[in-house]
Amino acid sequence: DAGVIQSPRHEVTEMGQEVTLRCKPISGHDYLFWYRQTMMQGLELLVYFNNKAVMDDSGMPKDRFSAKMPNASFSTLKIQPSEPRDSAVYFCASSPDRSSYNEQFFGPGTRLTVL
């Protein structure tokens, strides 16, 4: 049974370029989360979806970040234009339903480096 799939695993880009991160959640999971992990801030929740709809994006810088979930099996996180401070590991996670005792299943992450 495949877990959460993320691509690419590594991305190196130059400041000002557009970056698109991709995620495929576990089949049947209604919730999808995007996190950013840095040494300074730890694990930050950027945005999450329920049944493809954005539920909360208050953690996401709206001027340059956008997140979409066009179907139940695919989500993207786009950064345009990218900046060096966006360098981080970005995780996608999914969860079965809204029960708060449910664990989150994390993907392997995308390590983004913006030069």
Partner 1 sequence: AQSVTQLGSHVSVSEGALVLLRCNYSSSVPPYLFWYVQYPNQGLQLLLKYTSAATLVKGINGFEAEFKKSETSFHLTKPSAHMSDAAEYFCAVSERGGSYIPTFGRGTSLIVHP
Extract the tokens encoding 74: 């695919």
102: contact with partner 1 by CB under 8 A: yes
The yes or no reply on residue 8 touching partner 1 (CB under 8 A) is no
Fill in the per-residue mask, 52 to 81: x = in contact with partner 1 (CB under 8 A), - = not in contact: ----x-------------------------
DSSP 8-class letter at 9: S
Tell me if 38 contacts partner 1 by CB under 8 A. no
Strand ranges across the sheet with 65-71: 5-7, 19-24, 74-79, 65-71
Q: What is the distance between the alpha carbons of residues 68 and 58, in angstroms, rounded to a whole number? A: 15
- Angle (nearest 5°) at CA 77 between 74 and 82: 155
- At its nearest, how many Å lie between partner 1 and the CB of residue 107? 5
Rule CB under 8 A: choose which of 45, 66, 74, 78 binds partner 1: 45
Whole-number Å distance between alpha carbons of 113 and 11: 6
Q: How far is the CB of 71 from partner 1 (least distance, A)?
A: 22
Q: Give the Cβ contact number of residue 107 at 10 Å.
A: 22
Number of residues that bind partner 1 (CB under 8 A): 21
Binding site residues, partner 1, CB under 8 A: 4, 33, 42-43, 45, 48, 56, 91, 93, 95, 98-104, 106-109
